[in-house]
Structure 1
Amino acid sequence: MFAKRPQIAMACLSDRGRVRKENQDRVMIDPTLGLFVLADGMGGTRGGAYASSIASEHFYRKMRHWLRWRWTRPWQFRPAHVLRTMQQTLLAANTRVYTTASRDPELHGMGTTLVAGILQGQDCLVVAVGDSRLYRSRNGVVEQITRDQTLAERLLSEGFLDADDPRMNRYVHVLTAVIGRKERPEIQHYHVCLQPGDRLLACSDGLSGAVSENCLATALQREEPLGQLANRLVAMANDAGGKDNISLVLIDMLTPQPPRTVPQLEEYRRATATPDQG
């Protein structure tokens, strides 16, 4: 049954970086419900921040309400049903961003990436649009769960360019899917199976584009509080130049604690009996 509350630790952090004048990323988490949303806006002086705010707040608010209501209906927590609801909510967010932009010339062309997840039990259901990523770290090995929706990734997957081709740098930031366009975006969706000890990292390209995967893997193995690790990762991106906004969500899958048992009445009496003084 997909209705168990997650046993997790969660932290998030967003930083302007060292170059940008404004932080156009948005991050929202609810550890109790196992919900996280991360968006990386783009387009104009205020358009990017506006787009990421509209999309992330709409998704977060709607899914938070949906999750609270569905706790009384555990049969509706089947992964396929949850993923379908997440995709529908993200499509509605796309419409809201596009409609807002079409009414204001100053916001024309604004858009945002978005990666979001819901953790229940030892499952993580994920939707993503753009190049904001989700990684899983397990036993020292880091795996990128999401796929970058960029022109570079498309040319690579279709065999037009090799990974070491210098022209790849030209297309790595050209998005092929984004929230905020008239057409429906291609929404990636994933059902990720987790186990105790796993660590998840969701991040904008301000982190993944500045810090190598090997360095990320090393950092994610550190046994330290998630808030401290979040600060460490942001510092690593800033030390690499801090050319973009840096945002991340960290999640640890905790080892389930055995349920407490209530001693039987006679056992309790024996344990608490006063010794006979006669």
Structure 2
Amino acid sequence: MEIAMKSHVGCVRQVNGDFYACTIDERGRVLAVVADGMGGHAAGDVASRMAVEMILEELQNSKIGQTLEDEREGLMNALLRANEEIYRYAETHPECDGMGTTVVATILTPSGGATAHIGDSRLYLYGAAGLSQHTEDHSLVQELLKTGQITVQEASHHPQRNVLMRALGTEQNVRIDLGQITWTAGDVVLLCSDGLSNKVPADVIETWLEKPLSLQEQIDGLVQYALDSGGEDNITVIAVRNMDKSVDVSGGEG
């Protein structure tokens, strides 16, 4: 697998409330998570960090099998555990009242993978057929789109486009969306916070992934595009390309 990652605080905000990680475990699976925290003061970045660290810990320690159903179940359990811990933390830390985070996560093998998400962070798949979005935003704007109350053009400028219908840690019980992907050599899975997807149209993402550049250069270009388009939010991206050989990876925040 070829892996590229980048996170930027953006042009307006002082704190990066996004957190992310991408690792290869002892079974050779790629585990990737992007979280976009929300809440006053430091609550957002606390929530996103807690979510990513807990999800990875749960996945790395799991002893379940390797069927696709097992992987999906493992992802769901990891997100539910993180939800429980974040919700409990907010209850005992009044300064973090209202904290929560979006999460998009995947477990990838060379043949395919399982996905889980809550909120409006996204997962895209780029392959021979082009770019496709494999998650549906849990946002007010998405609900208005589905019911035909607004158009796609209106959605991009809607004053409530950042209102979430679901997030991790905001309620004691949450519903996680699960999915699966199949991919082949050369395909790219891309996870991102809405700081990228709100500023970079799908056709621009596809154009950058078509460029004859390294994956990191492609991701750097996408982040710069978001910054040049205003960069009002934090921007975080993880991309994984299906390759014959693995490469060294590193990750973290910022």
Taking structure 1 as the reference length, the TM-score comes to 0.83
AA of the residue aligned to 1:96: E
The offset of 1:182, in angstroms, is: 2.4
- Partner residue, 1:14: 7
Deviations 1:126-180 (A, max 9, x none): 0000000001111261101100110111122123333344696123211011001
- Partner residue, 1:64: 60
Alpha-carbon separation, structure 1, partners of 2:177 and 2:50: 20
- Partner residue, 2:89: 100
- Partner residue, 1:73: none
- Partner residue, 2:146: 157
Q: What does 1:131-210 correspond to in 2, within 5 Å?
A: 131-139=120-128, 141-165=130-154, 169-210=158-199
CA contact (8 A) 1:12 1:248 kept: yes
- Alignment partner of 1:36 out of 32, 39, 43: 32
Alpha-carbon separation, structure 1, partners of 2:156 and 2:225: 26
CA contact (8 A) 1:199 1:251 kept: yes
Give the match's secondary structure for 2:41: coil
Residue 225 (1) aligns with residue 214 (2): yes
The offset of 1:234, in angstroms, is: 1.2
Deviating more after overlay: 243-252 vs 219-228: 219-228
AA of the residue aligned to 2:138: Q
Residue 118 (1) aligns with residue 90 (2): no
Q: Per the alignment, do residues 217 and 140 of structure 1 end up closer, same or farther by CA in structure 2, a change over 3 Å counting?
A: farther
Alpha-carbon separation, structure 1, partners of 2:4 and 2:60: 17
The offset of 1:227, in angstroms, is: 1.9
- Partner residue, 1:234: 223
Instruction: Find the structure with the greater CA-based Rg.
Output: 1
For structure 1, list consecutive stretches of 5 or more residues without a partner in the other structure. 1-7, 71-75, 258-278
Residue 55 (1) aligns with residue 44 (2): no
Deviations 1:57-88 (A, max 9, x none): 0001111222xx55xxxxx2111121112101
The offset of 1:196, in angstroms, is: 1.4
Alpha-carbon separation, structure 2, partners of 1:240 and 1:27: 23
Give the match's secondary structure for 1:171: coil
Indicate the percent of aligned positions where both proteins have the same amino acid: 31
- Partner residue, 1:276: none
The offset of 1:252, in angstroms, is: 0.5
For structure 2, list consecutive stretches of 5 or more residues without a partner in the other structure. 247-254
Alpha-carbon separation, structure 2, partners of 1:91 and 1:232: 34
